[in-house]
Structure 1
């Protein structure tokens, strides 16, 4: 294979050994290109720093000198320098090489061959700045599905990112870039930027890159597999079909594309021409010696190196066809010559000196440039048909994303707000008061009970016993039983028994006089109310038997902490007063009610009296030593309409309660404890008519959990809104409007 000498200019980016400075240009060739050119290009195409070096970046540059635009292919090679900076970090050298595109187009070299030749040079090459590079043989390439997909997607104008190649060697990735570039007209290398590695977080301008994750605005192609391109993808679908034509030899197509060295961009003005060149390559439709777009009239034009686009054509041949659809160029058009003659130019156009003549004037010479072989039309459905169809891209679109963000944000605010309000205003879940009920259904027993939260166990115990007997029930809350007792319907009334004097012995006080005897209610049984406070102890400091014995006789070693409940009002029973009156020999220490376990944690006491909700999560075992203390009790009264069976059931359930077990964890949930006791004491009825929602639930007893669930739902919705907001584009481009249609050209004269 013949080597050709190609000139170049160079620059070296890095740090000096042991320096504190940031990365900068250390040296450059100082020929035609000054340091300002190198500074601009290195900041424009920064890809991040990989831990796996070397890596290669392909960039492009254009300079203007004496009104002449010069284009360069820029190859940047990142490699370890072998030195470290002042912080002992490895220093990376980036070697920038600028190669004139005219020399590459004349000899058609590959990226891989160019890299191998330049990488073998010294870090700071000396004149003469030329290097021998072997000529490019595109027919040796074997494009896979990933390369074909990448090339087709590049012709839409959007970037393409290859993922899933983290363990692929750099030289193979560079060869992949060569393969993709070979599937495009060679002149598109003047605008093609590529990299063998880019950081997923870097905001770069690389058109064809490798990364762990594809950027938001780029197509994703998986290494070795490609990606799914459907008819909805417009030009990409058509171009992929052109790259996979069974009637065209791959070697012929690659050879034809390699000869198309005229510069082409990835902008809307050149993409339709690139697609037509791809259509004609390998099909025998390229004229001999064609280097680019031959069907457009040539007129003097100027190029701007900043935009890189050719000047607008001032002459237009008669006739035109619609361009392939693509991003940024909806409805754009390029002019074609009319085979067989000229026509009337459009208004304002400069008429050509002579009529445009097809390069094959006779039928024997082959089809005209715009013709497509019948086999290709059958396989692809016709390129012209694909041009005319404007198919929308799949996805939500910007408006859909904004709508979803607004919806999830509204849901988050509503759920969190509702949950917070529910936690602040929930009354604790008691059933409606007595005055809310206008009457009861047949077979329903009214259960009237005090409204206190600590009486929930007794309310649910009676309600469950009524249901177990075969009746429906309706709970009514009232703290004045003598005034609101239901007389005309079956009813059970719970009346609070005044607490006994703490100085008296015995766990329960004597029953009071029946306050509803005159209204037909008789006594049935007494229900002890589980105390709000329980006794917990440190098993490592004291045994439960010794703690129980301390309540029977004096023990100087045992100390018990008691919470200070004086700030909770007169209705709150103060366990300290009861214990000092009932067991004056106990050594009690008062602790703040906000932290009743503090003394027990500090090993200052062996036991502590704490609220049930504190003991539930404390991890300390409970003692039944407080079972002998007097507590609250409720008297069960039932009228004659309730029936004998109901009275017997209530008596059986009340007698099944073990007062010594009221301090255990089984009674922390009043609903569960009541249901368990009734089910164990009474057989299941055969004709019961239970009603859904009759029994008070833990949900209604403690509104904290449903409110917390609402807040959690709101948090999840807010998180989804945040994710969608992150996925929104950082800049909203104006919606492109299609170009107005060109006026139809005048028909050719019969003699033309």
Structure 2
């Protein structure tokens, strides 16, 4: 079994201090206080709605934790970051509640250089498993320590944290597509995502990890390079027109987004989608599911998914390789 990979990640915590009456804000980050404003600009675009109070939370997957994925940077090689944000309730009981007696949420944010992830073809599930056990430094509203004590004596914050993750995610994803997630449905959904943002509607209540794995299986059927500028979420009660690109939500009804129900393959919304779906089915017939994923994962040139139109991007390269 291969050794896990280790990469460095920047981080931030967005919440509010105990008994605070103000807005949520960055309370700690890997850049120190000078970086609070910059990191707030990274975290807020990854928040796609307001959680219900814990006592009236919804079905599994709709209640916390919410996990969302995004990106930041200006496109230069040294400035491309892939991010994950985990929003959950604070710990520590009433001592952490705000001035109105409400239990606040805490959002833990991490980002990793795209090239570090691409080197190991890491996907959504891999990134989630890497950040899940990480306890960020205290000194903010309830990130696993006694909030009052942390506020009095905040611990020294490292510049970055180390994340460890599996270096061979493709066999697991291939098994998921062959045994649990219908390949035809996932392929049609991935093809549609090339040209339009997708609202996923679960057949039954699904927990966050199951939703991450399903989205991961869909995205594995696109060239890996699209992950450099991808947005996704396990639950987005208020999705925007273009983001998240792929998320679970109630049917939004937005004409800018396509609603896809689990188990019901969408019709390709464009010629780009039809061509990609045909390539996926052909390639799977030729080299099997794992071979198909390996072919797609080999295309790591960063690219962005278009909004409201088709694009060849790295897909054209994948098509020629798959057919040649």
Cα shift readout 1:99-122 (whole Å, capped 9, x = no counterpart): 111111122222212212212111
Q: Say if 1:252 and 1:117 are closer, same or farther in 2 by CA, change over 3 A.
A: same
Q: Say if 1:275 and 1:47 are closer, same or farther in 2 by CA, change over 3 A.
A: same
Query: What's the counterpart of residue 178 of structure 1?
Result: 216
Query: What's the counterpart of residue 87 of structure 1?
Result: 100
Q: What is the TM-score with the length of structure 2 in the denominator?
A: 0.78
Q: Which residues of structure 2 form unaligned runs of 5+?
A: 52-56, 58-62, 139-156
- Mapping for residues 212-227 of structure 1, pairs under 5 Å: 212-214=250-252, 215-227=254-266
Q: Say if 1:272 and 1:202 are closer, same or farther in 2 by CA, change over 3 A.
A: closer
Moved more, 82-91 or 119-128: 119-128
Residue 72 (structure 1) aligned to one of 56, 68, 81:
81
1:242 maps onto 2:279 in alignment: yes
- How far apart are the structure 2 equivalents of 1:201 and 1:121? 28
Cα shift readout 1:351-393 (whole Å, capped 9, x = no counterpart): xxxxxxxxxxxxxxxxxxxxxxxxxxxxxxxxxxxxxxxxxxx
What is the Cα deviation at residue 68 of structure 1?
6.2
1:155 maps onto 2:190 in alignment: no
Residue 64 (structure 2) aligned to one of 53, 59, 71:
53
Query: What's the counterpart of residue 42 of structure 1?
Result: 43
Q: Say if 1:32 and 1:183 are closer, same or farther in 2 by CA, change over 3 A.
A: farther
Cα shift readout 1:114-135 (whole Å, capped 9, x = no counterpart): 2122121113285362121111
Q: What is the TM-score with the length of structure 1 in the denominator?
A: 0.35
Query: What's the counterpart of residue 118 of structure 1?
Result: 131
Verify the 8 A CA contact 2:11 2:30 in the aligned structure 1.
yes
Q: Which residues of structure 1 form unaligned runs of 5+?
A: 286-752
What is the Cα deviation at residue 166 of structure 1?
6.1
- How far apart are the structure 2 equivalents of 1:279 and 1:32? 47
What is the Cα deviation at residue 165 of structure 1?
4.9
Q: Say if 1:262 and 1:94 are closer, same or farther in 2 by CA, change over 3 A.
A: same
Verify the 8 A CA contact 1:148 1:183 in the aligned structure 2.
yes
1:277 maps onto 2:317 in alignment: yes
Query: What's the counterpart of residue 138 of structure 1?
Result: 170
- Mapping for residues 488-507 of structure 1, pairs under 5 Å: none
Verify the 8 A CA contact 1:60 1:74 in the aligned structure 2.
yes
What is the Cα deviation at residue 188 of structure 1?
0.7
- How far apart are the structure 2 equivalents of 1:275 and 1:282? 10
What is the Cα deviation at residue 281 of structure 1?
4.8
Verify the 8 A CA contact 2:241 2:256 in the aligned structure 1.
no
- How far apart are the structure 2 equivalents of 1:270 and 1:240? 14
- How far apart are the structure 2 equivalents of 1:119 and 1:98? 13
Cα shift readout 1:665-687 (whole Å, capped 9, x = no counterpart): xxxxxxxxxxxxxxxxxxxxxxx
- How far apart are the structure 2 equivalents of 1:42 and 1:139? 32
* Aligned residues: CA RMSD: 2.6
- How far apart are the structure 1 equivalents of 2:247 and 2:186? 12
- Mapping for residues 334-353 of structure 1, pairs under 5 Å: none
- Mapping for residues 636-675 of structure 1, pairs under 5 Å: none
What is the Cα deviation at residue 90 of structure 1?
1.8
SS in 1 for 2:265: coil
Q: Say if 1:33 and 1:5 are closer, same or farther in 2 by CA, change over 3 A.
A: farther
1:99 maps onto 2:112 in alignment: yes
* Rg larger in structure: 1
